[in-house]
Amino acid sequence: MPLWLLLLIFCGGLLIFGVLFDWAAKKKNIQTDFSEGAKYASEEERIYIEKALDDAKQQIRNDYDWQ
């Protein structure tokens, strides 16, 4: 079996899993609030996350400027 076919099956399986998970969450009326986790983060965790996001943004900007 070719490698590209295995990758295609794997990606398709992940996509189907995501669709089924989303369908089940909507059917059970599960609400997801991603900002809720930030409410319970300590000040150190918030600083670390902000720094990591800022570093990633700077790296993307530097990669873009390089080209």
Quote the pTM value.
0.47
In this prediction, residue 30 carries a pLDDT of 82
Longest dimension (CA), the chain: 51
29-52: pLDDT as tens digits = 887 776 677 778 888 988 998 899
* Residue 64 reports pLDDT greater than 90: no
Q: Nearest-5° angle of CA 10, CA 15, CA 18?
A: 125
Q: How large is the average pLDDT for residues 47-65?
A: 87
- Residues of the chain by 3-state class (helix, strand, coil), percent to 5: 80, 0, 20
SS3 42: coil
* Tokens, residue 45: 């965790």
In this prediction, residue 14 carries a pLDDT of 96
In this prediction, residue 67 carries a pLDDT of 58
